[in-house]
Structure 1
Amino acid sequence: MLRRARMLGVLSFLLAGGVGIISATQTWAAVQRADAGETLSVAGADAFPLLAPLSLAVLALGAALSIAGPVLRWVIAALGLGAAVVLLIGTVPLIGEAPLSAVAATVTEATGLGGEKALRDVVAAAPATAWPVIAVLCWALLAAAAVFVLATARRWPVVGRRYRTAPDAAQHRGGPLDAVDSWDDLSHGTDPTD
C-alpha cells in the first residue's frame, strides 16, 4: 500500500483540483425571476468566488506532492487540508437552494437592480444544480487524501535517482576536458567551469 501511497495522494489532489476548475465554469444555480419567466444561470465561480483560485492551488499542490521530500509532504498535506476545509465551508451552503448572496452579482448584472430588498423582490427561487454536491464530494476526497498523506508521508519510498545529480565526472577522468565532456558534465548537473 505504501508503494502506491504517493500515487494515491497525488491523483486525489489532482482529481479534486481538476473537478473544482471544471465546476467553476458550470451552472451551480438556476435563478427563477419573479418579474419575468427568464431563468438566470449562475456559474460556480460567481456563486463562490474562491472556487477557481483554490482549485488551481490544489492542482499545484498535487503536482508538487509528486516530487516533494518528507518535510514538504507534510506542508503540502496541511495546505491541502486547509483548502479542503475552506472549500467545504464555502460550498455546503450552496447545496439545495442557493442563498441570495451567492446569486446577487448575476441578478444585478442581468436586471441592474441592487440591494437586498430589490433582489428579494426579483428572485423567486434559486435551486442548485448537482455541481455543488459533486464539488463537496471532491472536497471530502481532498480532505481524506490530505489526512492520508499526513499519516503516511514519512514512510513513502525515497524519490528515484533521476532527481539526484551525478557525481562529478571530471574527478573520474584525468586530463583536460573537451567540448563533449563539458556537455556531458552539464547534462549531469555539474558546472564544467569550476
Structure 2
Amino acid sequence: MLTRRAKSTSLLLILVAGALGVLSSTQTWLIVARADGGEVLDVAGNAALPVLAPLSLTALALGAALALVGPVMRRIIAGIAVVVGGLLLVLTARVLLLQPLDAVGPALTKVTGLAGDAALKGLVDGITVTAWPWVALASWLLLLAGGALALFTAGRWRSGGRRYRTTPVPHEGPVDAVESWDELSRGTDPTR
C-alpha cells in the first residue's frame, strides 16, 4: 500500500510541477518601469527564462514515461527529474531574487531597439516581481520532491500486468486463443 501511494504521489508531484511550469511560462513574471518615460513593460516567464517552457514540458514527459517503464529506467528518469527540477530551481531563483538585466533585456530590446547591457541598464528604472515566479519556484520544489520520492521507491513499484511482459510466462493446462497469439508474436509455435 505504501509503495502504491509513493508511486501515485511521485507521479502526481512531477505532473503538477510540469503543468504549473507550462502555465507560468505564459504569465507575467516581471514588470519593468522605464527611466525614459516609456510604457511599463510586462515580461512573461518564457521571455525572462527561455528554458522554462521546454523544461516544463520535459517534466510532463518524464512523469508520463515514469508511469510506463521498468525499474531501471524508472530510476534513470527519476534522476533526470531531480536534475531538471534543481536546474529550474536555480534559474528561477536567480530571476526572482537577483532580477538580472538579461531576464528583461530581450523584451526591452524588442520594444526600444536598443541592445547591450550599458544601453539597457540606463532604460530600467525598476523591476517588480509578480507572484508567478514564486509559483514556478514552488512547482520546482514539487518536481524535486516527486523525483526524489520516485528515485528512492521506484524499485518497489509494481510492474505492469501480463500484457506488458516481454518474457514468456510458463503456463499449465490448455492454451487459450490469446496465449496462442502471444506465442506466435514471440516467434514460437504454440502447437508444439
Does the alignment reach a TM-score above 0.5?
Answer: yes
In structure 2, what is the equivalent of residue 67 of structure 1?
68
Correspondences of 1:35-184 after superposition (within 5 Å):
35-96=36-97, 98-164=99-165
Write the distance in 2 (CA, Å) between the matches of 1:37 and 1:119: 13
Q: Secondary structure at 1:127's aligned position in 2?
A: strand
Offset from partner CA, 1:124-155 (integer Å, 9 cap, x none)? 11111111111111101111111111111111
Structure 1 residue 161 displacement after superposition? 2.6
Contiguous gaps of at least 5 residues in structure 1: 174-180
Write the distance in 1 (CA, Å) between the matches of 2:28 and 2:128: 11
CA RMSD of aligned residues (A): 2.7
Offset from partner CA, 1:132-191 (integer Å, 9 cap, x none)? 111111101111111111111111122223423787xxxx57xxxxxxx79x93xx5843
User: Identity of counterpart residues, as a percentage?
Assistant: 44
User: 2:10 touches 2:145 (CA, 8 Å); kept in 1?
Assistant: no
Offset from partner CA, 1:19-70 (integer Å, 9 cap, x none)? 1111111111011111125111111111111111111111110000111111
Query: Please, what TM-score do these two structures have when normalized by structure 1?
Result: 0.84
Write the distance in 2 (CA, Å) between the matches of 1:58 and 1:189: 37
Letter of the 2:5 counterpart: R
Write the distance in 1 (CA, Å) between the matches of 2:95 and 2:3: 37
Alignment size in residue pairs: 184
Of structures 1 and 2, the one with the larger relative CO (CA 8 A, separation 6+) is 2
Query: Please, what TM-score do these two structures have when normalized by structure 2?
Result: 0.85
Write the distance in 2 (CA, Å) between the matches of 1:57 and 1:113: 34
